[in-house]
Amino acid sequence: MQYQSHKIAQNFYTASVLLFLVQVVVGLIAALQFIWPDFFILNFNTIRTLHINALVVWLLMGMMGATYYVVTEESESELWSVPLAQLQFWATVIAVTAVVAGYIVMGLNPQTNTEIFGTRALNEGREYIEAPRWADVLIVISVLLFLFNCLMTVFKTKKFTAVQGVLLGGLTFLALMYLPGMFYTNNMVKDQFWWWWVVHLWVEGSWEMIAAALLAFMLHKLLGADVKVLAKWMYIETGLVLFTGILGLGHHYYWIGTPEYWLWVGGVFSSLEPIPLLLMVWDAFRTTREVRGVVPNRIGLYLTVAHAIFNFVGAGLWGVIHTLPQVNKWTHGTQITTAHGHLAFYGAYVLLIIAMIYVTLPSIKGVKEFNQSRGFQSFWWMTVSMIFIVIAITGAGMVQTYLERLLGLDYVTVKASYNLWFWIFRALFGVGFLVGVLILVKDILGFGQKPAA
């Protein structure tokens, strides 16, 4: 069955992968600025802002596309309103373009970043949520329109499936958790306290809920696995994610001026966070093993399993190594954090969205067979490069922690001389990563045009 609504999912996918390309190109510039600070017309801070904002926005757009697809398929119906979804897509594209333009103008001349209504006009100067207040409002409207449309579809068709429940529940949680970042306080400690509500409760709460739901959806779609069993494990996984993740928020409240009891709360709960992620790996393997016969969409399955594995390695393992206060005291705010950030985002969410694209695009385009080799090529270019980037940055982080934090050498000395080779390695493998992204973009944009030769 072909739906109009799937066209919208495809629009979101296209925008997603294009923004991914932008993200990685600016990421490469950021990496070169570690070697030559004046490498580009825009300073490092603007480049980094573009890098991480493009990342968050393309992942969100990918999630929206995926959700429009899932809701349509699970409800066996068109969306409540296709034109509304179309409008929401274009409104999002326009808002994102305006925000990016604002960052660039601000980067070229910081004096343009004036104060309006108590906040900044172009760049709020808060990591990840740099988008100014007017953009926050647009983002909230866009997300509300999106949620409204999906929920109306579900209520209209009354097909309250488990996957839809957790998926839309996670998205509602996501929308709510944007709000703590939308007010100004003149206390830096409170500022960071609420800022972490947004950042942590997104990636270690609502986004993981969405990931668990999409994982169940993909395993079902690819393998035809039993919905009831998948649903049960999905509930257990999401439950454990939230039991550990919500109070795991404490691992960001060790040293920012908050009371000492957070050392205990954060240490205990966040060390348990890898457990549900490991369960997801097991879930993916168990389901895959149960299925006999050939799976036609090999690349889709491959990416799904890879997502589960790298979610555990990047978020779970690379997270848990520095989550205890005794370790975090020395590594807090070093390159160790960057290494974890990259592998976690890549494994948990980049691979998730790419997997969803490969799992759903064949139905969207109405193709049964497609050339899968490009998908594999891009996967290997990206994954191998990412592993080496993370090894390089973990190395840099260990050297930094040892020399700067333990021995007391100067930050600038460590960065400029001892760690120089790590920056060079990162930039080199960054090029490899870019190759993978280019292959991906080419494959997704031209998907299904030429049948397999």
Partner 1 sequence: MSTNAAKNLFIYGSLFCFLVLVILTIDTMGKLDQRAPEITEKVAAGKKVWHKYDCIGCHTILGNGSYFAPDMTKATERKPKEYLKKFLLDPRAIKQDSAMPKLGLSEEEADSLIAFLEWTSKVDTNDWPPKPILASATAGRTASTGQMLFQKYDCAACHQIQGLGGTAGPDLTHAGLKQPDVEWHIKHLKDPAGTVRNSAMPNFSHLGDEDLKALAEYLITLR
Q: Which residues are at the interface with ligand HEM (CB under 6 A)?
A: 24, 27-28, 30-31, 34, 48, 51-52, 55, 127, 203-204, 208, 251, 270, 273-274, 315-316, 319-320, 322-323, 328, 332-333, 337-338, 340-342, 344-346, 348, 350, 426, 430, 433-434
The interface with partner 1 within residues 7-46 (CB under 8 A) comprises 33-34, 37-38, 43-46
Rounded least distance, CB 412 to ligand HEC, Å? 5
- Site map 265..294 versus partner 1, x via CB under 8 A: x-----------------------------
Q: Residue 432: phi, psi to the nearest 5?
A: -60, -40
- Sorted by sequence, the CB contacts under 8 Å of residue 120 that are 6+ apart come out as 113, 114, 132, 133
Binder of residue 316, out of Fe ion, ligand HEM, ligand HEC, none (CB less than 5 to 8 A by kind) = ligand HEM
Residue number closest to ligand HEM, CB atom = 319
Stretch touching partner 1 by CB under 8 A, among 187-195, 304-312, 358-366, 371-379:
187-195
Binder of residue 319, out of Fe ion, ligand HEM, partner 1, none (CB less than 5 to 8 A by kind) = ligand HEM
Stretch touching partner 1 by CB under 8 A, among 63-71, 118-126, 283-291, 376-384:
118-126
Is 200 a binder of Fe ion (CB under 5 A)? yes
> What are the angstrom distances between the C-alpha of 158 and each of 96, 216, 432?
34, 20, 47
Is 247 a binder of partner 1 (CB under 8 A)? yes
Our separate counts of H helices and E strands in the chain read: 18, 2
Is 206 a binder of partner 1 (CB under 8 A)? no
Asked whether the beta carbons of 319 and 244 are under 8 A apart, the reply is: no
Rounded least distance, CB 216 to partner 1, Å? 12
Asked whether the beta carbons of 119 and 132 are under 8 A apart, the reply is: yes
Binder of residue 146, out of ligand HEM, ligand HEC, partner 1, none (CB less than 5 to 8 A by kind) = none
Stretch touching ligand HEC by CB under 6 A, among 43-51, 155-163, 259-267, 332-340:
43-51
The interface with partner 1 within residues 58-87 (CB under 8 A) comprises none
Q: CB neighbours (10 Å) of residue 276?
A: 24
Asked whether the beta carbons of 339 and 426 are under 8 A apart, the reply is: no
Is 420 a binder of ligand HEC (CB under 6 A)? no
Is 407 a binder of ligand HEC (CB under 6 A)? no
**DSSP element (H, E) containing 283:** helix 274-290
Nearer of residues 407 and 453 to ligand HEC, judged by Cβ: 407
State which of residues 14, 21, 40, 44 lies at the interface with ligand HEC (CB under 6 A): 44
Q: Work out the burial of residue 394: count CB atoms within 10 Å of its CB; fewer than 13 is exposed, 13-18 middle, 19 or more buried.
A: buried
Is 335 a binder of ligand HEC (CB under 6 A)? no
Distance between CA 264 and CA 270 in Å, rounded?
10
Q: Residue 55 has which token pair?
A: 């990342």
Is 322 a binder of Fe ion (CB under 5 A)? no
Angle between helices 5-35 and 44-75 (to 10 degrees): 160
Per-residue DSSP letters for 85-99? HHHHHHHHHHHHHHH
- Sorted by sequence, the CB contacts under 8 Å of residue 431 that are 6+ apart come out as 28
What is the radius of gyration, based on Cα positions, of the chain? 22
Residues binding partner 1: number (CB under 8 A): 78
- Sorted by sequence, the CB contacts under 8 Å of residue 399 that are 6+ apart come out as 414, 418, 419, 422
Q: Residue 441 has which token pair?
A: 């973009």
Stretch touching ligand HEC by CB under 6 A, among 39-47, 113-121, 193-201, 272-280:
39-47
The interface with partner 1 within residues 326-345 (CB under 8 A) comprises 329-330, 332-335, 337-338
Is 160 a binder of partner 1 (CB under 8 A)? no
Nearer of residues 8 and 219 to partner 1, judged by Cβ: 219
Nearer of residues 170 and 375 to partner 1, judged by Cβ: 170
State which of residues 238, 287, 311, 360 lies at the interface with partner 1 (CB under 8 A): 238
Is 412 a binder of partner 1 (CB under 8 A)? yes
- Detail the DSSP E strand segments found in 8-65: none
> What are the angstrom distances between the C-alpha of 85 and each of 72, 77, 150, 155, 278?
12, 14, 9, 17, 36
Footprint of Fe ion (CB under 5 A): 200, 204
